[in-house]
Amino acid sequence: MSTTVKTPGTPVKSSSPWSAATVDGSQTRRSLGRIRCFKQCVESMKSGTEPFPAALCYVPAEVEYRIIRAARIAVYAAPSIQSRKLAEIAVMKDGRLSVAREMCNADGQWGQLIKVTLKGKDIPVVADAEVKWVLIFGACKSGTDAIELIDQQKEEEVEPKTFDFLGRNSKKTISRWDKVVEYEFSLKLRDDSCKVAPPDDEMVSLLQTLPSNWTLGHDEVLVQFLSQHIEKDNVNLGSIRDYVESIDVSSLSDDSGPQNLTDDNPETFWETDGSQGQHWIRLKMKKGTIIKKLFLAIDTNDDNYVPSRVLVMGGEADNLKKLSDITVDHSIYGPHDLLVLSDQSDHIPVIELRIKECRDDGIDTRIHGIKIKSSKERDLGISHDLFVKRNLIRFPLLDGFEQDVIYRRAIVLQRLVQLVDSILPYLVPRWDYSIGSYASLEIFRQLLPLSRKRMLLVDQFLRESETSSPSSMPKLYINRRAAMEHRLIPSADVHYKNSVFNQMFDGLKPRDPSQKPLDFRWPPRYEQWWECKFLCEGIIDQGGGFRDSLSDLAEELCPSSASDPVPLPFFVRTPNHGNTDATDCRDTFVPNPHCNEFLRYEWIGKIMGACLRGKESLVLTLPPLCWKMLSGQEVTWTKDFVAVDETEVRLLESMATMDEEAFVAFFGDERTWTCRLSNGAVVPLKPDGADTVVVHSDRAEYCRLVQETRMNECKEQILAIHRGLLQVVPQSVLELLTWQELEKRICGEPEISMESLRNYVCLDELEQEDTKVKYLWEALENFSNEDRSRFVRFVTGRRRLPAQIHVFSGDQMDVLPSSSTCASSLFLPSYSSAKKAEEKIRYAIYNCIAIDTDTNAWEE
């Protein structure tokens, strides 16, 4: 497969984040060198046997550090401060320390000691026969560290050039893997201006070599593990990204979003669009960050948008405590920094800044930026301790491999993704680039979750392809009672005219021939796409009814209850649904192979695309096979179709290895040249197939035809959904997302864990210590995943996270809780016991979904 790249130095679309000044020839050669190395890595991954380039796996045989202050250095028998101490060396300022085979663990960065040089002389340490380890950097920064070492190699880059006795430049030494890649692959005529430091050949070989049973599938699982266990810089966080993992806000107005808090531009600001006193900024801090000073940038010229009182809360996400309560001095004129928190001694995982009051009773507020001064744990790279057995329990494919093997492979994969990040502007230069330009990325698309720059491209492509919001909001009139009657007995209306789906599909069609159909490519801030009027239900739709309509739509397409009939013809339950021996995906659906309503499939694709662009979700429980086909990833029979029809996959595996006697005994004359599709229909595999018996000698051909037929049974339907998706989302976005990311961006988080749910619950005028709050958490702890999904829908109208949930206190005792889906609010009564709370909440979430107010139903 060829690799299509854009020539380095060619300018990209001016609005792209990758736009840059014209580069010189040297930069072009370096970029081409990285691209050539990348192409060789692609070929290595395709072959499965060829090692990665030695330059990518380069490790210097020796790294020299300079000692900047006198200290005593401990020498250990192993890279652990708990191991045997071999010696302790007194070193002086400006001494040299040479190490090899550096590695990181919980203690910090280690190196195997080669020698210590003081005043130009090597000093003895311990017997040469022993492996000697020194701790180069501790895990935590501290101004009182006993010793701090500086990488001598980095200093070389800023020192003035020196010359030999003939007046020639001294050779610059290259000892970083990325620079070695550029040097080795630049194809520049070599000169004597630089040299590569001698490599540690044994270590390079270890990084290149893998066990014979390691496959690309192991790499994919390892990337999943790393993406869940290591922090990635959020490149949207500007100067505070070293300290903050993510920022959430209560609301935003138009383009004045949270990105303006971190762009270091005093002219921009985050502006709220919510209720008075209910505005907040939530900072999820990176591990080890200790706040020394936290500032909010405000401007008193903003009139009644200026905060008057800021309450700072902090702690674990589910247990925030008051840290400070700041009254703002409005006598300070103009833009300035407001100190809201200082001199913290411990790491605070979550900090929430609540703007409780604004000047002159203003309703909304403006904040121009966030600034942080902090100490933080050193980011030393991937830790060897990460790959202990207890962390790999959820990743059984990695079990059985030595910790050193996984650690080394993780380092190589991280380097590979860093290489890709550095050349992404040349591989994917614009959102409307032609299909097929991503061929080089496809082979390791599953490795892209480690990329730090890919999501910037995704967001940029979505922004460049968006259209303006509609001038008027469509209004839908939906009779959910008639839809429920159809859902109970679908056979009574084969044309499903009373379904929510049909009412929405017809209701959103243009009424005027000159009116354009909805394109669903609106900005994310356009949060409500239509207004819903549910007949016989009292409601003023401010977002809750709209979200309810999406939940109802998803429930009709893919019912969440296994016992409910499927009221629409577009999807059918997979054969695994009725297979008690199936090990995976027993609750999923696939497109109906015999449903040819392709325009409606395209419309489903458009709604999916709108969810990907926005904040809503459409919960379609499709197997990985469908998501891979929608994202353009390769699918295979043994790996992917097993999640659709495991019985068929296992049967064909057995048939392929049967001898003739076993074949006849097992199948006899019953197996004909037909196969059963996922919707139950039996189709012939060749002319007169239903009347022709499969014999042993033809079993290989029979297996091939079954696999071909089943793998393509819903191809046309998937292509129709894909066409609709591409009308809303650029092809480039789909090809930069893994299938798991595509599913999550459309459907939301499939599992609602207590940890994730706590992150989205905001207690308003309530404390974690309140009895009713404790009872709420206890009830949710006892809920199943389906129960929690119902709870989220009861409060927000959504079936999956992310969805912000505000909890307010109710006055009554032992009654059903109430909610406002428009405001995503739960009104929680008091309960006499945790059991009573669980009973009332569970009843409400299953039986109180209709939106009823004081409106008389007969007035409709």
CA-nearest of 529, 526, 486 to 504 is 529
C-alpha span between 281 and 443 (Å, rounded): 40
Question: What is the residue whose two structure tokens read 């297996």?
Answer: 703
C-alpha span between 300 and 487 (Å, rounded): 57
At position 325, the amino acid (one-letter code) is D
Strand 279-285's sheet: what is its strand order? 244-249, 279-285, 350-358, 307-316, 319-327
Asked if 611 is an active-site residue, the reply is no
C-alpha span between 112 and 136 (Å, rounded): 10
C-alpha span between 855 and 411 (Å, rounded): 63
**How many angstroms separate the first and last alpha carbons of the chain?**
62
C-alpha span between 119 and 94 (Å, rounded): 8
C-alpha span between 311 and 316 (Å, rounded): 16
Kindly give, in sequence order, each residue whose CB lies less than 8 Å from that of residue 296, ignoring residues fewer than 6 positions away. Answer: 307, 310, 337, 338, 340, 353, 367, 369, 370
CA-nearest of 379, 457, 386, 381 to 415 is 381
3-state SS of 482-511 is: HHHHHHHCHHHCCCCCCCHHHHHHHHCCCC
Per the CB < 8 A criterion, the answer to whether 747 and 617 are in contact is yes
DSSP string, 15-83: TSTT--PPP-HHHHHHHHHHHHHHHHHHHHHHHSSSPPPTTTT--BS-EEEEE-S-EEEEEESSSSTTS
Per the CB < 8 A criterion, the answer to whether 253 and 273 are in contact is yes
Report residue 431 CA to chain centroid gap: 20
Pairing of strands 761-763, 805-813: parallel
CA-nearest of 103, 106, 135 to 408 is 103
The three-state secondary structure class of 707 is helix
The active-site residue out of 626, 714, 762, 822 is 822
Q: Which two tokens stand for residue 330?
A: 């409005």
For the purposes of burial, counting CB atoms within 10 Å of the CB of 39, is it exposed (0-12), middle (13-18) or buried (19 or more)? Answer: middle
Question: For residue 316, what are the β-bridge partners?
Answer: 319
Per the CB < 8 A criterion, the answer to whether 800 and 752 are in contact is yes
Question: For residue 352, what are the β-bridge partners?
Answer: 282, 313
In angstroms, what is the C-alpha Rg of the chain?
31
Question: What is the residue whose two structure tokens read 């309960």?
Answer: 831
CA-nearest of 101, 97, 96 to 61 is 101
Question: What is the residue whose two structure tokens read 């491209």?
Answer: 457
Per the CB < 8 A criterion, the answer to whether 739 and 631 are in contact is yes
Greatest extent of the chain over all pairs of C-alpha atoms, in Å: 102
Pairing of strands 63-67, 96-105: antiparallel
Cβ of 523: how many Cβ atoms within 10 Å? 17
Pairing of strands 571-573, 589-591: antiparallel
Which active-site residues does the annotation give?
822
